[in-house]
Amino acid sequence: MRAAQATIGRDLYEGAHSWRMWTILGWNDIRRRYRRSILGPFWMTISMGVLAVALGSLYSHIFRIDIETYLPYLTVGFIGWGFISASVKESCQAFRGQSELIKQIRVPLSTHVFRVVFANFIVLLHTVIIIIPIWLYFWEFPGPKAFLAIPGVLLVALNLIWIGIVLAAANTRFPDVAQIVETALQVAVFATPIMWPVSALGERRFVAEVNPLYHLIELARAPFLGVAPSALSWIVAAGSAAVGLMLAALVLQRVERRIVYWL
């Protein structure tokens, strides 16, 4: 019994312990993606900034919210959503994209998902600087509460890791999963309070609060707006991470010896 229990979570532990490997691989992924580009990953920063300003100017009038309140809300929401959606979509191919490596070398399967999430975390770091000129323009700063974004983003990353592991395993067995996930994300971006404020729901605020993605976005967004995330958001994200990582450990234990035959 103890031996069986020790096996559960072994891949996750070994994957986390191999942090030097997946940080180097993730960094190389970013360098390869933007090779020969003049501005490199900052093209994404610029495009997201232009999109946020254009939509912010428009939707602030539609929702009748002051631009100095709405633009930071929309910008940080876009940044958080970009981190989440890119990590989820790319995780679907985490095992299939590394099929040759998986077949030839014994590497913890979770390492490939850690690699994806870390690469997108690097993108997040250089994208979040968009908020700085917005703070300077409106001369409104979040204060010390901005540091709450550190544990908030950590919780988001833990959730992305277990989601990525489950989706990577499912997509390896059933390749249609990636298309289903991409379609679901296209719907989720409109169903999640990113472009529209929760206050617009009025008494139907519960529609947002039952959406786990809202709480993940809020953990990263609220601190940059000078607001502490609600206790409910912390509870949902922490509970989801705890249960999800246990699920991911079980999935890895079950598919570890089968993945090679599915690739």
pLDDT tens for each residue of 40-72 = 666 777 777 888 888 888 888 888 888 888 888
Q: For residues 115 and 25, is the Cβ–Cβ distance under 8 A? A: yes
Spell out the domain ranges in the chain: 2-262
Q: For residues 13 and 249, is the Cβ–Cβ distance under 8 A? A: no
Tokens representing 1 are 């019994």
Give the chain as a 3 state SS string.
Answer: CHHHHHHCCHHHHHHHHCHHHHHHHHHHHHHHHCCCCCCCCHHHHHHHHHHHHHHHHHHHHHCCCCHHHHHHHHHHHHHHHHHHHHHHHHHCCCCHHHHHHHHHCCCCCHHHHHHHHHHHHHHHHHHHHHHHHHHHHHCCCCHHHHHHHHHHHHHHHHHHHHHHHHHHHHHHHCCCHHHHHHHHHHHHHHHCCCCCCHHHHHHHCHHHHCCHHHHHHHHHHHHHHCCCCCHHHHHHHHHHHHHHHHHHHHHHHHHCCCHHHHC
* Predicted confidence band of residue 36 (pLDDT cuts 50, 70, 90): low
* Predicted confidence band of residue 6 (pLDDT cuts 50, 70, 90): very low
pLDDT tens for each residue of 197-240 = 887 677 777 777 888 999 999 999 999 988 999 999 999 999 99
pLDDT tens for each residue of 64-117 = 888 888 888 989 998 999 999 999 999 999 998 888 888 888 888 999 999 999
What mean pLDDT do residues 240-255 have?
92
- Measure CA 202 to chain center: 28
What mean pLDDT do residues 26-33 have?
83
The pLDDT of residue 121 is 93
